[in-house]
Amino acid sequence: MTAIDDVLRHLDEQEPATRARYFDFLRIPSVSAQPRHAADCRLAADWLVRELTELGFQASVRDTAGHPVVVAHHPGPGGDAPHLLYYGHYDVQPAEPLELWTSPPFEPTVVPGPNGERVVARGAVDDKGQVMTWLAALRAWQAVAGGPPARITALIEGEEEVGSPSLDAFLQANAEELRAAIAIVSDTNQWDPQTPAVSTRLRGMVYAQIDLRAASRDLHSGMYGGAARNPLNLLSRILADLHDDDGRVQIPGFYDGVTLVSNAQAAQWDALRFDEAAFLGDVGLSVPAGERGLGALERLWARPTCDVNGIWGGYTGEGSKTVIAAEAHAKLSCRLVGQQDPQAVAEGLRRFVAERLPKDVTAEVQIFSTASPIEVSSDSPYVAAATTVLSEEFGRAPALIGCGGSIPVVESFRRILGMDALLMGFGLNDDQVHSPNEKFDWNCLVHGARSHARLLGALGRVS
């Protein structure tokens, strides 16, 4: 019997203890966006330090300008063992609206599901459950072999859900300590409950806010209607101009750097037999949107987007108040692909708005966050190792997929530390991430932990 067999058997035997630790972690309301939970964020960081110390790591809480970061090191077996960086985040989204939860969001609850038991709680999958997959694997290696077969650094931040504002400065200040052969990130999905996945591309991001201002104060719509400029009307027209009738974004230079998907890549995605009708049906929709003439996965993974995330201004309370608002506001997110430059897209958006401004209206375009798109070569030895171990664990080869979302830290790892990331996640599309009743299928956590245990054994041999 090999060491990995013993590790996997230990993991299976320790499932009840793993669940208990997982539930303890979930009970900490570490909501990074809400100042009243700042102490809870530190409590979560302290919990992780205790956990990692039990696993033989030298672990500490590091202060930042915002919520603290946890850094931990394990020397592994010494010699020329590779150095691996495991990344995760302990912060979670706000639980509101609380009335839509079927159980208290910070009291993990086990409910039945089509694939077995599932755990419902805020952070169940994003990212506490996924962090637990590799923590459980490290614990099993510690118990069976006295430690992992590689040198390990763990980096767990507390601001991912608010855009990681302190992380780049932390990476720059601690680059030599953190730089490794590869970063391993579990914050993505499987293809389906039976099929694992490795994500090889992430869309980038420009997140912006448009603020229009006209009159010096809100105006009576009877006294000024037809004479005074209405910034809400103007903003609505500007936002409507963002797309043409074929769904293409009209921001100047927006498609610079966008490349077409190769025939081989398109064929691979076609083989996944993605059911777009079921995908949309799960959220109460039936008609595909986006750019016309393109396949569903190409639109989701390999094409850029620009979406309005919120619009406000004037009176929005109960009843009526007949005003022409002095201000109008909107938030937008642009998802980027290929070689698109976030700064160029941001400047294009500013130009797009400025070209549509009449006299007496001023505009400000605030850019809150940017991230470049990422593609990881499927020829990487780390992707090859992940493909092997996932095939062993699930009995079928993983899908090499894209991710429509953004994980800015992956771009930061490449830009600041000069290292790529292996994106091996175990979430599912129906996990209701960021929504009430977030959940994680217990089978996904178990297979995730076993996959990480196998991956450690495989990467311990990669030089």
What's 112's domain CATH number? 3.40.630.10
Instruction: Find out whether 352 and 336 touch, Cβ atoms under 8 Å.
Output: no
Residue 265 has what pLDDT? 85
Q: Let me know whether 52 and 172 are in one domain.
A: yes
d(CA 188, CA 425): 4
Backbone torsion region of residue 392, taken as left when φ is above 0, otherwise alpha when ψ lies between -120 and 50, otherwise beta: alpha
Residue 91 has what pLDDT? 98
- The reply to whether 18 falls in a domain is yes
Tally of CB atoms within 10 A around 325: 24
Instruction: Find out whether 249 and 243 touch, Cβ atoms under 8 Å.
Output: yes
CA–CA distances in Å: residue 366 to residues 167, 293, 307: 21, 33, 16
Q: Let me know whether 80 and 195 are in one domain.
A: yes
Tell me which of 323, 342, 371 is where a domain ends: 371
- How many structural domains comprise the chain? 2
Mean pLDDT of the chain: 95
What is the mean pLDDT of the segment spanning 292-320? 95
Parallel, antiparallel, or unpaired: how do β-strands 374-375 and 197-202 relate?
Answer: antiparallel
Q: Let me know whether 431 and 442 are in one domain.
A: yes
**Domain span holding position 404:** 3-202+373-459
d(CA 330, CA 232): 10
Confidence of residue 170 (pLDDT cuts 50, 70, 90): very high
Instruction: Find out whether 438 and 125 touch, Cβ atoms under 8 Å.
Output: yes
Percent of the chain with pLDDT over 70: 99
- The reply to whether 390 falls in a domain is yes
Q: Let me know whether 349 and 394 are in one domain.
A: no
Give the amino acid at 358: P
Backbone torsion region of residue 355, taken as left when φ is above 0, otherwise alpha when ψ lies between -120 and 50, otherwise beta: alpha
Q: Let me know whether 195 and 233 are in one domain.
A: no
Q: What is the dihedral of CA 38, 44, 46, 47, to 10 degrees?
A: 160
Tell me which of 332, 351, 371 is where a domain ends: 371
- The reply to whether 156 falls in a domain is yes
Q: Let me know whether 33 and 143 are in one domain.
A: yes
Q: Let me know whether 365 and 224 are in one domain.
A: yes
Burial class (CB in 10 A: 0-12, 13-18, 19+), 448: buried
Residues 92-110: tens digit of each pLDDT: 999 999 999 999 999 999 9
d(CA 233, CA 219): 14
Instruction: Find out whether 164 and 207 touch, Cβ atoms under 8 Å.
Output: no
CA–CA distances in Å: residue 109 to residues 120, 131, 430, 445: 5, 19, 17, 15
Q: Let me know whether 402 and 392 are in one domain.
A: yes
Instruction: Find out whether 232 and 313 touch, Cβ atoms under 8 Å.
Output: yes
- The reply to whether 293 falls in a domain is no
Q: Let me know whether 45 and 87 are in one domain.
A: yes
Helix (H, G, I), strand (E, B) or coil at 18: helix
Confidence of residue 405 (pLDDT cuts 50, 70, 90): confident
CA–CA distances in Å: residue 80 to residues 57, 89, 155: 19, 29, 22
Residue 86 has what pLDDT? 98
Q: Let me know whether 214 and 194 are in one domain.
A: no
Residue 463 has what pLDDT? 45
Q: Let me know whether 166 and 243 are in one domain.
A: no
Helix (H, G, I), strand (E, B) or coil at 208: strand
- The reply to whether 94 falls in a domain is yes
Tell me which of 371, 392, 410 is where a domain ends: 371
Radius of gyration of the chain (CA): 24
Residue 262 has what pLDDT? 87
Structure tokens at 262: 């190769």
pLDDT at position 21 over 60? yes
- The reply to whether 284 falls in a domain is no
Q: Let me know whether 102 and 249 are in one domain.
A: no
